[in-house]
Structure 1
Amino acid sequence: MAILSVYIYLSSGRWVLKWYKAQKVPRNERSLLYTILETLASRAQVRAPDLYSFESEIPVMFTVKNGSNASIAISTAMLKTFDDLNLEVFLAHEIGHIKNRDVSLNTVTALFAGLIMTFPELVMWGSILSGFGQPEDPAPRVFRFIATALAAPPAATLVQLTRPVRREFEADAEGIKITRNPKVLAKNLEFLEQYIPLQPVISKFNPGHFHLFGTHTHLSRGDSYIFISLFDTHPEIGARTAHILSHSSYPENGIIKKYSRVPGYFDLRSWKLAMASSFVSYMVFLFVIIVVVTFALKDFNFLINGGIAAGYTGAVLMLMGITAKVTIGKYHKKSLCRFTKQFFRTHVRLLRYFVKKERTR
């Protein structure tokens, strides 16, 4: 385990870069950008990171760590949208993550959460190769939806437990200290927040990687749209620009309460649908387990199956409760309490049902 942990720590950044087929930017092609990056790193008193680029029609930038050295990856759309001088504020934000020692945790989290969220695609292709049709046919899409519902809660919980919203605010504060130009950062962030949703592109980014990016870059559509609310890891642009322009390290509670944390991408209805879909999918999996156990025993044993159902449902409810708490935050406490009560009432009813059946038998 120690060797595996060291390997993951040293190589997780390299695997994430390979995930996006990122290539190192030659210094002779972007000499000004390298000069800006090294100047920012010198001001922050950190080691200058390597510079990579990858193909994407969405303007994004993220930082990962390979051992002791960090690497900043910039999409081709980002390089086309902004000139080198405008990229300075975004690079300063990423340097802020390095300065705050966020990168190692973000990189390892992205590796594990990303791997979990590849499960739906594997299930879909498994169903296709098994003869259930093509990607747009009903059966593979249903399998992918169920697999997404199963994978989303643990992956989202893993991401949200790293407190990504606070980390974004703190990286903004460090970026402002380095550049002393908060207005440009606020203006460019507002531009990206308005520009990205207008692009006729479906983002191919893995939901487990959303916390790496500096803005709301996930334009997911289709079957998995409702699960995006679980992975929202960025503050609302109004609260964010207000905190940037106020030069504070972290916004006051008043600003947090005034603005929704997740505008446009998060709404309570989608969140409830995502949680309900995940719960139903886990219960479908429980049905499969009970069927397999029944066939193995060649009899339906109420005591064994009831115990399995009670333990499994309790574990699912615990996962759902943790996911609800870390994804919805403190902005809808009453809804969270009602949702949790409904879950536990369902659990109690199931226990009573199996106990009654066993007594009758």
Structure 2
Amino acid sequence: MNQIKTVALLGLLSGLLIAVSTLLFGSSYGSLIGLGLAAAMNLGSWFFSDKIALAAYGAQPISPESLPSIYRIVQRLTQRANLPMPGIYLIPSDSMNAFATGRDPSHAAVAVTEGIVRFLPEDELEGVIAHELSHIANRDTLTQAVAATVGGAIAYLGQMASYSMFFFGGSRDGDRGPNPIGLLVTIFVAPLAATVIQLGISRTREFAADAGAARLTGNPRALAKALQRLESSATQRPLEGSPAFAPLLIVNPLPRNLMRSLFSTHPATEDRIKRLLALESQVSGASSRFAR
């Protein structure tokens, strides 16, 4: 059911991109431009989703020699989960966060920040990495990357529309170009709609990845403690990067405020912690099993 919902939401996101292009460029060519953009974004995300996301946060590869402790954790958990070894990357930031990306388990990467490596105890760091590996096992990484890329394109088109309206006005209509109402819709409504669709894609998948991490490590409380620390870090030291890629991260990278609460790409951290603690009795002693 979640897969059907996700495909439907991705279809809505691509349809929204086509509609925005039609409004922005006019009906004669806008639909074709939007269709081309949607196809290019989805195809590009399929092949380059890992590189796009890693570049967005300036992540650099980790070798077994540079950070042996992280490498050992990832290696141990991937063997336990029966997954291929992903690429491992370090994000140069004191903020505490992490994400996974890639089109499938054989072409995946896990990225962690310098802050999370420096400040989290090993058992909590293991819980975070298990969460990201669960995303890889569930093939969430491609879905999230496609949503982020298409959502980012819609936001970019909204910016183009605002510049067009500011510098050239919105007097054109019909097939000759966008009208003022179309421009206003493109500037304000389309990015908001794209955000809402992304929320529908990402929130349920975070709960599933938390549960997968709890089963993989057999220690849901460690991940619960890590989420508390990461939530605090996001408030004190936000992670800089494109907002379009926020759904990939284990916690929302922005400081908590009213707008973040309304449009958060993640479930409330408190709810995630409650669910993890409720799993303790179910996964106790089950660290050798990993149910996908």
Deviations 1:214-252 (A, max 9, x none): 11321288xxx84x455312222222111111118xxxx
SS in 1 for 2:58: coil
1:31 corresponds to 2:68: yes
Measured in 1, the distance between the counterparts of 2:214 and 2:256 equals 31
**Hey, what does 1:153 align to over in structure 2?**
192
1:107 corresponds to 2:139: no
**Hey, what does 2:249 align to over in structure 1?**
213
The amino acid of 1:190's aligned partner reads Q
Kindly state the Cα deviation for residue 158 of structure 1 after the two structures are TM-superposed: 3.4
Alignment of 1:131-146 (within 5 A): none
RMSD value, Cα:
3.4
Alignment of 1:316-327 (within 5 A): none
1:234 corresponds to 2:266: yes
Q: Identify if the C-alpha distance between structure 1 residues 192 and 8 changes in structure 2 by more than 3 Å, giving closer, same or farther.
A: closer
Deviations 1:105-137 (A, max 9, x none): 111112221233345666788999x7xxxxxxx
* Contact 1:60-1:213 within 8 A present in 2 as well: yes
**Hey, what does 1:281 align to over in structure 2?**
none
Measured in 2, the distance between the counterparts of 1:229 and 1:217 equals 12
* Contact 2:162-2:187 within 8 A present in 1 as well: no
TM-score, L = length of structure 1: 0.55
Deviations 1:56-92 (A, max 9, x none): 3421111110464111111222222225543111000
* Contact 1:156-1:230 within 8 A present in 2 as well: no
Report how many aligned residue pairs link the two structures. Answer: 229
Measured in 2, the distance between the counterparts of 1:236 and 1:230 equals 10
Measured in 2, the distance between the counterparts of 1:205 and 1:15 equals 12
Alignment of 1:1-361 (within 5 A): 4=40, 5-66=42-103, 68-119=106-157, 149-162=188-201, 164-199=202-237, 203-219=239-255, 226=259, 228-229=260-261, 231-247=263-279
Kindly state the Cα deviation for residue 53 of structure 1 after the two structures are TM-superposed: 1.5
Q: What are the ranges of 5 or more consecutive residues in structure 1 without an aligned counterpart?
A: 131-144, 249-361
* Contact 2:199-2:265 within 8 A present in 1 as well: yes
The amino acid of 2:48's aligned partner reads S
- The one of the two structures with greater contact order (alpha-carbon pairs below 8 A, sep at least 6) is 2
Percent identity reads 26
Q: What are the ranges of 5 or more consecutive residues in structure 2 without an aligned counterpart?
A: 1-35, 168-183, 281-292
Measured in 1, the distance between the counterparts of 2:52 and 2:79 equals 27
Q: Identify if the C-alpha distance between structure 1 residues 192 and 146 changes in structure 2 by more than 3 Å, giving closer, same or farther.
A: farther
